[in-house]
Structure 1
Amino acid sequence: MPFTPYTSQTILPSANGVVDQQHASIQQQQPAPPTSFFTRRPAASSPIGSPPDANQSLPPSPPSRFNTLLPSTSNVAPTSFTIDAVEAWDTNLYLGTSDGCVLHFILEEQSKPGEVPYASRLENKINLGFGRKSIERILVIPQVSKAVVLCDSTLSFYWLPAFAPIPVSSIPHIKGVSCFAHNVAEEGRIGEDGTIELCVVKRRVLQIYKVGELVQIKKEMPLPDGAITLARHGRNLCLADYNHYKLINLLMPNPTPLIPTPQVTISSPTMLGAGSQTVPKPVLTVIRPDEFLVVSGSIFTDSHGSPIRGTLQWASYPKALCVEFPYIAALLRNGTIEIHNILDQRRLQVITFPQSFEARGMSFGHGIKVWMESMAERLRRRPYAHINDDEELESELRRQVSKFSTVPARILIHGRDSVAAQIVTPLVVQVDNLLDDKRLEEALDMADQARNTMSTENNVYQSELDYIYQKAGLLLLQETVFEDAFTLLSKGNIDPRMVIHLFSDLAASSRVNESPYVLLFDGVYGLLERTGRIEDMVAKTMERNYSPHLEEDHQRSSPTMELRRVLLRNAREALEKYLTIERGKRRMLIGKGDTVCKAIDTALLKLFVTNDQDDAIHRLLERPNDCSLEDCVNTLIRSKKYYALSLLYQSKHMYEKVLETLTKIYMGELPDTRFTNGLEHIKRLLLQDISLEHLPMDALMQYAWWVTEQNAVDGVEIFVRSPRAKEMDSSEILEKLEQYGDEAVRSYLDYLVTTRKSKEPKHHTRLALTYVRSVSQTLQDTSKDTLHQLVDQYKQTVNPSNVTENEMTFVGYLGVHQQSNLVRRRLLLIRLLQRSALYDPATLLDAIEKAGPLDIEKVIVYGRMKKHEDALRILIHDLGDFVGAETYCVTKGQSTGTVPAIVMQESVTPARTSSLSKKQVVKKKQLEEDEIPLPALPEENDERRSLFSMLLQTYLSIKDSQLMLIRTMHLLTTQGYYLDILEVLDLIPDDWPIQMLQDFLIRSLRRSLDDHRNSQIVVSLSRGENVMANSQVIDLYKEIGPIYVDLQSECYKCHQYLGDSIVVREHRHGHLLHLTCAKAAGLVKADD
């Protein structure tokens, strides 16, 4: 099939018929209905250009955007004019006639179903006023909204689009014109001054006019030989006079002659009878910038007159030329149009017209859109499912086909009474013909070339390509070339539901009957109906290729039956790849309930299940998906893929179903080997931040206790780390956890105390008791001598006499030097005892004493019980922890040393959300701050002084005099601030020399003197403030004056008698109020 770049389409069968019909209507004084100069689709046998009569239909072109049904004109008077010029712009068509008139048609869109989308009506008939002179040419200049008409050697100007004459007073006619031309380079553009240029040739002069609001001459050049025709591009002109073709550069003075002007012999009547004569008939056109074509030897020439390219050959001498690069169309004198490729000069197509059309001329203009029935037949779409009375959808489909089936036509051919458009043959028509001829490779090559060059925003081209690829894909399906077929269907953007519907076992999941409806091109719809399902295609292929060898007994294995199974397996594999690609195209819609995504995901799951692809199933279900719940649940249950079933439930946020399924798998009720590490999986699920809507608290607690029954540690972790842990009933949890042992209870209590900051004393006491029991059990496994050994090792490690190096407390020693299980548990207990102030110290002391010689723990409890003397005695005499004793006094008995970070357990945090991790950091910082003693307030110093006084007395009771002296002097030096000088002098031995106490005494006396002077300053400042306050009060009394309260005085607010109560006077208006009323009104602060 040869390449045909153009298609000819009749757009006006009979101009005279329209005019005569309107004339008849006017005579009958009836309003003329809108008529069209287009017909509905004619019979296929009608020749193009045939004049309408009673026995012959209109030309064999499909309905154009102009045509509606015209009545028969067999009874109308004979043709009174011929068409001599034609031009079009937007929805306007202008015809110049032989009787000096312009017929103006307007296109109108039709909205009624069943009508051609576009029809036309005769808007106006303009008589130019030059008598019955033929109109030679019409030029439309939309840049300046004007039209130019050459008639009777005169140029006249008109307004667009109505074609109303411009008064001669505004723009005078230009007379004596032989020919004129516009600048092709200015098409679609306008000059900076808002004008375009027009070249006009008179008898011996060339004039250049600027056309804008007015018409002004810009330049004039002598042209001694005149011109018959001319064309212009930029500054270069190509013209022909009676003797030669010539090139003129507007910047150069002299023209460049080319070749002689061809002379054509024509017949003409004379006084002596018929005769003939030769007349010049030059034909030329612009090819592209700086290139022209002149017809004689069909020479392509550049702006310098040098020949370029090869020459063109025509069957007869052309009447007119039009260029749509790279094609050139020539209207020949034999009534045909030949299309050549400019690049290689090959003839591509010959367009013929019936002799009755009488092709007279051809024009290239701004173009008009033409309705092509061949496009409509291919691009019209319909819903696959039957839909009742969906007018909105039908209206939308009509609009689409109207949009896609109107194509632009810039070349118009006019006959004696008709107009045709030369339309670039749409891609879909060319390629579809190749597909019908089974030339798939050529068709796809052409489609791919167009696809690589087309604009992605051109919806018409995209629809054409979609149709081509869909049809080609279905043709390959018929040949069972599945992978290539599905690739083409994907490129053609066919609805994936339709592809799924081709497989019998998946058809029920295709959702082809659900909204949005599957829309198919008419041609594709018919092909699908003929093709049937995949199984039918395979069966037809087998019958076509192997029918002599098909076995009658289908139960018996044979090569042909094996081939059938292979083909069906290949089809399913190709479908899987296709659906994966289509799913990727819709990645932004996945998980949002899109109907197409539902069909794709459901079909993919079924394919994976059929092929036993567990990994693929899990990948699909672990991410957002649109699998149909009911359909996929049944599929997974039948295939006993219960773990995948739980993933499906989870993707649908059906967490109760998920947990029910997983627990049954774990317990063996629903066996599935793919479910590994099951309890950990269930625990992680329960630790997710799931809303109450998807997982109620009752269900969460039910499965949390189920996990606890399987493993108490995992269960407690759920109670502790769940994002909803604070919503749980802690008392109920503690009560139930008792049956699972102390470790479970202790873990949950630690969470309540450490993380939740519980203020309930019973939680703190109970947690401490669990730690004591834990230490006691560890001691039973070892020996109580271990505790004495720890004390002895500590005493050997530290040197109390070296006050500069000895900074280690007994608690610090436990953490740094010992990491046994016993030490860890003791440190946990010590940490709780030091931090918490809510436990019952008496209960703890009793438990500690029963557990064993836990001296440091007993010291902390003594501190809570204010038994400071007993605590200091243990620290000094039993443990030898002098640093711990001083820390005890500084912290008012709350701490004997910082618990090392080694055993500092981070606060338990919820399992999810980024904001919670931030809260974890805040809690950790708060935990660290709790261990750092805050600066003492003045009222706390008395307690510290009492404690350091006790510590001093304890130091003085040390039997080792040397150690006693060193520790006492160290205490006086470092903590002398808290010791009273008189008390110290009274306690120390009389035999101590005064020089030993010199530093202490000097600092104490200096501090006392500073305190005395500071107090004097404060007293003086206070007196000054009192004087100033008294002065202000006196001034205020003078300003306000006396306040009188008698028996009739009432409170402004409560209207009760003021009596002898305290009275407040409102400052602005002087109202009197009770003090309580003034506080209620906000006039006096409540705490004043």
Structure 2
Amino acid sequence: MEENLSIFSSARFFEKRPTGKGKDRSTIECAEWFCSNLYVGLKDGTVQHLSVSSSSSGERPERVREVGRRQMGRGGVVSQLKAVPVLNHLLVLWDGSVTTLNMFSLEPVPGLKKIQNVSVFYVSQPAAHSQPVFVSLFTASTKRRALSIHKVYVDRWESVGHVALPQDPVALAVYETCLCVATTDRYILHDFFAQSALDLFPHNHAKQNIIVSESGKGEFLLNAPGNLGMFVMKDGVSKRPPVQLPDGVLDAAVYFPYVLALQSQTLYIYSMLDQRLKQTISMQSAKALLATTESVLVVAEREIHWLSQTPLQDQIQGLLRCERADEALTLLDGVQALLPEDSYKNLHRSVICTSGWINFYSKAFLDAKELFIKSGLDPRDIISVYPAMTVISSDFKSQRPAVSNAKDLWRLSRDDWPTFQQYLSFLSHFLRETRGTVQSQICPQDVDTALLKLYLEQGEDENLEQLVSSPNDCVLHVCLPELERHKRFFTLGLLYQSQSQHFNAIQTWVRIVDGLCVDSRPGVFPHIVNTLCQLKQKSIIMKFIDWVLQRDQKVGVLIFTKRDSDDQSTFAPEEVLTFLGNYQAALTLYLEYLVHEMHSKQEKHHTLLATTYITHILQTAQRTPDSDENTEMREKLQQLLWHSSIYNTDTVQAKIKSSALHVEKAILLGRAGQHRAALQILVNQEKDQEAAESYCRRTSAGQGQEFTQQLFLCLLQVYLESNQSVTAVVDLLNNNAMTFNLVSVLQVLPTSWSLQLVRHFLCESLRGTVHERRMRGLEKNLAKVESLRHKHAWMEATQEKVKLDRSRVCHSCRRQLMGPEFLRRPTGEVVHTHCYTADKNL
């Protein structure tokens, strides 16, 4: 059995002393209570009226004074009393009859005669707003199987009905129009208004006492077979589990949320919420219970006890002290309607929190986490129980309840490290789940600092970097030593960065790259560059830009070229060009960025890019003339010279004048219109016939046929003037037969050449000329056909026959159409011929 709780405290406040030496017949049989008035019915037929004075706290009676008494007769037992305050009546069941007395004088009420042959009665609540005021009285007859219904007024009563029963009634209770009756072998529900009855279940009157008691609005408590205290609603449905009562129960009463079951020597108190026994109280010769609005009275043979219920808040706190959190929560939820809202919330939070701590120390971590979150536990309370997890807030006061299964986590960390790891994992999950919620807003620094320590301790690198890479409230002076101790210098830089200390962050990463700090994190240098790309503080960038460029110019230039489009104003192009003057590779990449990506229209940028290419090519040529790097750079230079029209031609020419960059010289001459000179350089100095032909094709692209023929004819003349081999000249002619003008070629070819040499060229050229002429003729004829088709369609539309009647009018001039001089428009409208012509001219 569980520990006996102090739910009710018992105090004897009335005692009936023996009357003499012989057999005492003045023992107590029943009692009634109303507003400090106690009525006692004795075995010898006496009714006592007692006035009860309460203590200063008003919780229990302190002094009892007899106000009056009435002897009902020489014999007979007073078996039932009921006060009717609205009428000032006291109904007394004595010697099988119901008698009405005045509540205060105990004098019989005139006009209210006795109701004979009554074994038990029940008085309902007064009828609301009825005039005159009355109450309903239900009486069970001892001589017939029926219940009688009376209306009791101040000065009279009326019999208003009878309810027939299958057996003799033994006990009853009433709610509105529903009668709950115990007969000699069963319980019955009977609605006397609807005239409907419902058998509930049988009982054994010989082996157990019959109990019919109200337990709430429309609910009755019955002593069912097997000593089950059944709760039955007026419709026959049970909405709560039964209570297992002890054997030999004499009486039972409900004082929410408890059921009190009385034996002769013991009072048992059960919870209606979880059906468990909560308390037992010893009694002597007890026989009945009387539940009032203030308390419960226990009636014994010679005394009456007053049971005072402990305040509900104290009961809940008592359960918590006993660590019966589940019971406390059940009780709290069951009596929520009886408590002020603030009290309920505070108690609920306390119960949930205590249950969470019990589960926490029992290693039921999932339940503990849910309970801590539900109770709104201050995260500092859980942080403070862990070793090395100091609470930062100076105003923190722990509200942690004391529980018997509490563990010393400091000792656990030394003696049982695997178990302590489980507790660390719980703290990590709890703080991570509550981080950013209202629950942790009171102490964000404590939460984030504790999480950082936990991630370090448990090696959760991904969570650690996610924490310090996003906005956080970690306390630097606490976290820095921890990160340094674990040699997490890269993470230290991220922490600096998250708190806007960008210089310290980059300086820390620079020390890693320079080998001054040991950190296994890869990719630190690219991370520095990426950070500088996103940084807007120009002064900080300038402090590190030299260090970056000295390590890698190609990567370092990204600081200027990969900035956000809305952040380009941080560095002006001219400023960057000046700064990169000592870093040729970076300068070249930045100029390419300006020209190709930013589409700069400044002559300076294009010219500087070209001269930078040339400088690099010339310097590289001295070391490795045929290197891939040099070839790639020349291709870039040639593409720039071909496509850009903004650079200064004279400046670039002066730069390459004394160099062997013949292709580039030819491009520049071609830009100046000196195509013959350009071709001479390619043929005579570069000695690259393929480059010469490519020059002609590229220069003549988009130009007219005449320009193309003139340019290739010029190349042919250069070949002939430079004494190129006959084979080279013939190949030029054969490969470009369609491009040359046949007549012009024949004019420049040497007369000594045989027809056989140029036979292939002549055939291809003539074939091309004929093909071109035929194609032009075909195109001309197709155009004629298209024109004829349109004319035919127009004629079809305008010369359609139209049948006219006398009412047909011209759609244009609105006059009547007469004679043949009319036609139909393509739109279907019929008009005069002259109207149609005039419309077309308009």
1:589-634 per-position Cα deviation (integer Å, ceiling 9, x unaligned): 59x9945331244356568889999999777645654221244446
- Structure-2 residue corresponding to 1:434: 322
How far is the alpha carbon of 1:884 from its aligned partner? 3.2
Question: Relative to structure 1, is the Cα distance of residues 987 and 489 closer, same or farther in structure 2, using a 3 angstrom cutoff?
Answer: same
Partner of 1:8: 8
Alignment of 1:748 onto 2:676: no
> 2:85: which partner in 1?
100
- Tell me if the contact between 2:289 and 2:296 (Cα under 8 Å) persists in the aligned partners: no
1:317 aligns with 2:250: yes
What residue in structure 2 maps to residue 520 of structure 1?
399
Per-residue deviation at 1:263? Answer: 12
1:587 matched to 2:520? The reply is no
The AA in structure 2 aligned to 1:464 is V
The residue number in structure 2 matching 1:833 is 641
Query: Does the 8 A contact of 2:8 with 2:307 survive in 1?
Result: no
C-alpha spacing 1:747/1:597, structure 2 compared with 1 (3 Å): same
SS where residue 399 of structure 2 aligns?
strand
Amino acid corresponding to residue 211 of structure 2 in structure 1: V
| 2:181 is the alignment partner of 1:239 | yes
The AA in structure 1 aligned to 2:668 is V
Aligned residues of 1:579 and 1:600 also touching (Cα < 8 A) = no
Match of 1:157 among 108, 122, 127: 127
Q: Who is 2:380 aligned against?
A: 497
- Cα distance 1:681–1:312, how it changes in 2: closer, same or farther (>3 A)? closer
1:944 to 681, 704, 709: 704
2:662 and 2:307 map into 1 onto residues whose CA distance is 116
Matched position secondary structure for 2:658: helix
8 Å contact from structure 1 (residues 496, 600) kept in 2: yes
Matches within 5 A, 1:9-28: none
Q: Distance in 1 between matches of 2:668 and 2:212?
A: 117
Residue 769 of structure 2 is matched in structure 1 by: 997
CA displacement, residues 383-404 of structure 1 (integer Å, 9 cap, x when unaligned): xxxxxxxxxxxxxxxxxxxxxx
Give the whole-Å Cα distance in 1 for the aligned partners of 2:511 and 2:297: 82
Residue 951 of structure 1 aligns with an amino acid whose one-letter code is L
- Quote the residue 2:821 is aligned against: none
* Residues 287 and 293, structure 1, Cα contact 8 Å, conserved in 2: no
Change (3 A) 1:292 1:962: same
**Alignment pair present for 1:759 and 2:759:** no
Answer yes or no: is 1:465 the counterpart of 2:357.
no
The answer to whether the 8 Å contact 2:124/2:135 transfers is yes
Structure 1: gaps spanning 5 or more residues? 21-48, 61-71, 83-95, 104-129, 135-149, 159-164, 181-201, 208-218, 265-280, 371-410, 436-442, 539-563, 787-818, 893-942, 973-978, 1016-1088
Partner of 1:350: 280
**Equivalent position amino acid for 1:701 in 2:** M
**Per-residue CA shift, 1:955-980, capped at 9, x if unaligned?**
775766865765665237xxxxxx9x
Change (3 A) 1:850 1:321: same
The AA in structure 1 aligned to 2:399 is L
Matched, 1:866 2:673: yes
**Range that drifts further, 840-849 or 823-832:** 840-849
Is the contact made by 1:955 and 1:964 (CA closer than 8 Å) also made in structure 2? no
CA–CA distance in 2 between the matches of 1:653 and 1:714?
Answer: 24
Change (3 A) 1:621 1:891: same
Q: Tell me the amino acid that sits aligned with residue 239 of structure 1.
A: V
Aligned partners of 1:343, 1:501: CA distance in 2, in Å? 36
| Secondary structure in structure 2 of the residue aligned to 1:851 | coil
Residue in structure 2 matched with residue 361 of structure 1 by the alignment: 290
CA-CA distance at 1:730 after TM superposition = 2.4
CA displacement at 1:847 relative to structure 2: 3.6
Q: Per-residue displacement from partner, 1:728-781 (whole Å, max 9, x unpaired)? A: 1322332232323x3232122112212222221121112112223333344444
> What is the TM-score when the length of structure 2 is the normalising length?
0.58
The verdict on how the C-alpha distance between 1:470 and 1:841 changes in structure 2, with shifts beyond 3 A counting, is same
Which structure has more relative contact order (CA 8 Å, sep 6+)? It is 1
Q: Distance in 1 between matches of 2:221 and 2:34?
A: 39
AA aligned opposite 2:506: L
Aligned to 2:572: 729
Task: Name the structure 2 match of 1:559.
Answer: none
Letter in 2 for 1:626: D
The one-letter amino acid paired with 1:317 is: L
Distance in 1 separating the partners of 2:458 and 2:203: 78
Q: Which residue of 2 aligns with 1:739?
A: 582
C-alpha spacing 1:97/1:703, structure 2 compared with 1 (3 Å): farther
Contact 2:138/2:148 (CA < 8 Å) preserved in 1?
A: no
- For the Cα contact (< 8 Å) 1:500–1:510, is it kept in 2? no
Give CA-to-partner distance per residue, 1:497-553, whole Å, 9 cap, x none: 34555689765x43141xxx54627x659x99xx9x979x97xxxxxxxxxxxxxxx
**Cα 1:880/1:1010, change in 2 over 3 Å:** farther
Q: Which of 652, 660, 664 is 1:852 aligned to?
A: 660
Deviation at 1:839, TM superposition (A): 1.1
Distance 2:366 2:201 in 1: 60
1:655 equivalent to 2:502? Answer yes
Aligned length: 661
Question: 1:17–1:73: 8 Å Cα contact kept in structure 2?
Answer: no
Residues 188 and 199, structure 2, Cα contact 8 Å, conserved in 1: yes
Matched, 1:717 2:558: yes
Deviation at 1:331, TM superposition (A): 4.5
Bigger CA drift: 576-585 or 981-990?
981-990
Spell out, residue by residue over 1:415-467, the C-alpha distance to the aligned partner (whole angstroms, 9 max, x if none). Answer: 999785598898854644535xxxxxxx5897899999999x98744521313
Please give the alpha-carbon distance, in whole angstroms, between the structure 1 residues aligned to 2:777 and 2:388: 103
Q: 1:761 to 1:312 in 2, by over 3 A?
A: closer
How far apart are residue 838 of structure 1 and its match?
Answer: 1.0
Q: CA RMSD in A?
A: 6.8
* 1:330 maps to 2:261: yes
Partner of 1:45: none
CA contact under 8 A between 1:872 and 1:951: conserved in structure 2? Answer: no
Structure 2 counterpart of 1:708: 549
The answer to whether the 8 Å contact 1:601/1:625 transfers is yes
> What TM-score do the two structures reach when normalised by structure 1?
0.47
1:830-889 residue CA offsets vs partner (Å, 9 max, x unmatched): 22222211112233334445331533x344323322334445667799524687356425
Query: Of 666, 670, 689, which aligns to 1:879?
Result: 689
CA contact (8 A) 2:488 2:519 kept: no
Contact 2:215/2:254 (CA < 8 Å) preserved in 1? no
Letter in 2 for 1:826: R
Counterpart of 1:823, as a letter, is: T
Deviation at 1:642, TM superposition (A): 5.5
Larger Rg: 2
Unaligned runs of 5+ residues in structure 2 are 15-31, 38-49, 71-80, 89-99, 105-119, 150-160, 337-343, 721-725, 756-761, 788-842
Per-residue deviation, residues 164-187 of structure 1 (Å, max 9, x unmatched): x2457xxx978664389xxxxxxx
Q: State the distance in 2 between where 1:156 and 1:448 align.
A: 37
Distance 1:946 1:205, change over 3 A: farther
**In structure 2, C-alpha distance between the alignment counterparts of 1:945 and 1:432, rounded to whole Å:** 103
Give the residue type in structure 1 aligned to 2:507.
E
Q: Secondary structure of the residue that 1:599 maps to in structure 2?
A: helix
Distance in 2 (CA, whole Å) between partners of 1:349 and 1:986 is: 133
CA displacement at 1:657 relative to structure 2: 1.9
CA change 1:851–1:963 in 2 (3 A) is same
Deviations 1:641-664 (A, max 9, x none): 765543331221210221233445
Q: Distance in 1 between matches of 2:528 and 2:198?
A: 97
Deviates most, 723-732 or 1000-1009: 1000-1009
Seen in structure 2, the aligned counterparts of structure 1 residues 838 and 433 have a Cα distance that, compared at 3 Å, is closer
> Does the C-alpha gap of structure 1 residues 97 and 698 become closer, same or farther in structure 2, counting only changes over 3 Å?
farther
